[in-house]
């Protein structure tokens, strides 16, 4: 499935790194930035999420809640968040349902791993409508944060 600008974001409930449930539809009234990433503790993922950490003020100013999503377990995500001092929730899509619903799943990753999240970014407005969607095929690339920030600036 491909998620496109203008459609209602598929709702979901996932557990964060503290094993607390986070439901997308409960975030209505705030803008949301979903960042799917392949795996915790890998170079590009660490760089991307630490960049978000270092620029969280810009996202907060846009009334945007940021969520990182991967198929890692909540336990792995908790350790990753702690070590990288991340200041936003990481959500475990261990069962791969949300990554699949958002068209953000590799059938095969690095040749032998099955069902890893593709690096992707989705901006969802206060009403639950997708305003930006980017799914990258190359895990070595990062989302276009200039375009993400411009989208969020238009939603404030």
Catalogue the active-site residues: 45
> Which residues have CB under 8 Å from 38's CB, separation 6+?
44, 45, 70, 106, 109, 116, 117, 118, 119, 139
**SS percent in the chain: helix, strand, coil, step 5:** 30, 30, 40
CA-based end-to-end distance of the chain: 29
CB count in 10 Å sphere of residue 54? 11
Q: Which fold has domain 13-155?
A: Glutaredoxin (3.40.30)
Whole-angstrom CA distances from 48 to 18, 19, 38, 120 are: 21, 23, 11, 11
pTM here is 0.95
Give pLDDT tens digits for 86-121: 999 999 999 999 999 999 998 866 667 678 899 999
Domain ranges of the chain: 13-155
Give percent of the chain above pLDDT 90. 87
């Amino acid at each position: 499935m491909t998620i496109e600008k203008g459609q209602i974001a598929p709702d979901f409930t996932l557990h964060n790194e503290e094993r607390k449930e986070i439901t997308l539809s409960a975030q209505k009234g705030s803008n949301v930035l979903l960042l799917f990433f392949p795996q915790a503790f890998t170079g590009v993922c660490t760089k991307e999420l630490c960049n978000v950490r270092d620029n969280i003020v810009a996202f907060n100013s846009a009334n945007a809640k940021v969520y990182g999503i991967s198929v890692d377990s909540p336990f792995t995500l908790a350790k990753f968040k702690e070590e990288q001092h991340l200041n936003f929730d990481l959500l475990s899509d261990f069962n791969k349902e949300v990554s699949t619903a958002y068209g953000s799943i590799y059938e095969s990753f690095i040749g032998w791993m099955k069902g890893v999240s593709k690096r992707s970014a989705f901006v969802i407005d206060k009403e639950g409508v997708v305003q930006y969607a980017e799914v990258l095929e190359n895990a070595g690339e990062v989302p276009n944060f200039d375009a993400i920030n411009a989208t969020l600036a238009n939603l404030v």
